[in-house]
Each structure stands twice: as structure tokens, then as C-alpha cells.
Amino acid sequence: MSPKQLGSQQFQIAPSLLASDLSCLKEEVIALEKAGADVLHFDIMDGHFVPNITFGPTVLESVRKHTQLPFDAHLMISDADQYLDEFARVGCNWLSVHVEACPHIQRTLTRIRDLGMKAGVAINPGTSLFSLESVVKHCDFILVMSVNPGFGGQKFIAPMIDRVRELKKNLSGTNVKIQMDGGIKLENIAEVAGAGVDIAVVGTGLFSSKDYSSQISKLRSAAGNR
């Protein structure tokens, strides 16, 4: 497993396990690797920063040995700093924290990198891109939320496409990747990829199909086989 995969020039698909059958997570991660997923996205919610509770690092630990794919944990929690070491310990490779939830964001991102993980900053649809200005050099990727975080299966917020275009321009000359998360499906993934997204998180847009392999191929080809 190589967290370096974040540096890939190719468009990547990151299934969001929140939409999987959590009663058989082991089988799901094995099936996703076989089906050609690039990275596994885990949505960590605390019932405080977002109005929903999901799972924590012990769940990632329980499936870590069943796949070689990189693990990408999206922390939607109020006190991220308290849990960074634990996510590294269980074998997480990419870790994103919300700019809205981290009062000392440069310190948080530096700690994530020091722990050997790729550091990401997530930004809610209602937060200005200006809040990222001083953190770009401390991160490896920016997670543009295309829904308000908290639940899977929400409607894609279309103006976030323009946000990605603007961000892409601002990031030119850097190695910082753009990840987008929320409401991405076959119908809009071409626009998402065309705007400059490098990694698309897909939940219900993938798990609504029984055949992950064919759905991932369809998503990739709709994205233009980038």
C-alpha cells in the first residue's frame, strides 16, 4: 500500500464506505479492491461537528489487513487533534480535517504529515475559499465538499463545480490535489472531472449498483478515463 498514490496523475475513485453494507465490511473492502477502486474513503462523524455518528479508528483497524488499498479518513469531528495518532496507528494513509473545526490548522496538518500520512483540508460549501489561503503549503490535498457533511445520499450542490475551477487555478504550480465529496454520480462525474477534480468520493452513486466493477468502469469512462 503506497500513500504515494495520492501523487498519481490519474483520476481516482474513492468509494465512501458509509454507503456500503456495514454488516459485512470485510467483504465490501475486498470486493472494492477487486473492482478497481483506487482508495477507500471512511467518513468519521462525531454527532457534534455533524449531526450524525458513524465509526472510529477501531473499525478501520479491523479491516486494514484485508486490503492493500490506501485508507482515506475524512474527519468530521470537533476535536481532530486528539485522534490523529490513533488514525496513523491503525494504518490510515490519508487524513483530512475540516478547516471549520480546527482552530490551529497548520499545527494539525503538520502533525498529520509528521505521522507519515497525507494531509487534507476539507471545506464546507458555505465556507469561503479564502480560509484556505494560508494552509495550502501545509497540505497534500483539499477536499471540496459538494454537500453539507453529515449524511450520504444528499443532492450535489452544483455551484461547487465553479469552486473547483477557481481552486484549480489557485493551485497551479503546486502538487496539491483536489478531492470532491458528496452527491457524485454517473450523471455529474464528467463535469466533476472536467473542472479539475483529481479524486472523486462516490457513495450511493456506486453502492446503488450490485456490480461494483462495472459501476467503477462506468464512472471512470464517464469521467473521460482521465
Active site residues per annotation = 43, 181
Is residue 184 close enough to count as binding ligand DX5 by CB under 6 A? yes
# residues near Zn ion by CB under 5 A? 3
Longest dimension (CA), the chain: 44
**Per-residue binder mask for ligand DX5 (CB under 6 A), 32-61, x = binder:** ---------x-x------------------
18 contact, one of Zn ion, ligand DX5, none, CB 5-8 Å limit per kind? ligand DX5
For position 202 contacting ligand DX5 by CB under 6 A, the verdict is: yes
∠ CA 169-170-171 to the nearest 5 degrees? Answer: 90
Taking CB within 5 to 8 Å according to partner kind, which of Zn ion, ligand DX5, none is near residue 204?
ligand DX5
Nearest distance, CB of residue 156 and ligand DX5, angstroms: 8
What is the distance between the alpha carbons of residues 29 and 111, in angstroms, rounded to a whole number? 28
- Which residue has the CB atom at the shortest distance from ligand DX5? 203
**What does 150 interact with, of Zn ion, ligand DX5, none (CB < 5 to 8 A by kind)?**
ligand DX5
Return the residue of 6, 12, 13, 16 that touches ligand DX5, per CB under 6 A. 16
Are the C-beta atoms of 177 and 6 separated by less than 8 Å? yes
- One-character DSSP codes across 205-222: HHHTSS-HHHHHHHHHHH
Rounded Cα distance, 88 and 103, in Å? 21
Strands 12-15 and 141-145: unpaired
Nearest to residue 224, comparing CAs of 188, 200, 193, 196? 193
Chain positions 145 to 164 lying near ligand DX5, rule: CB under 6 A, are 147, 149-150, 152-154
String marking each residue 73-112 x if it binds Zn ion according to CB under 5 A: -x--------------------------------------
Minimum CB separation from Zn ion for residue 159, in Å? Answer: 19
- Asked if 205 is part of the footprint of ligand DX5 (rule: CB under 6 A), the reply reads yes
Alpha helix stretches (DSSP H) within the chain = 25-35, 57-64, 84-89, 105-114, 160-170, 189-195, 204-207, 212-222
x/- letters, 103..142, toward ligand DX5 (CB under 6 A): ----------------------------------------
Residue 79: Cβ within 10 Å count: 12
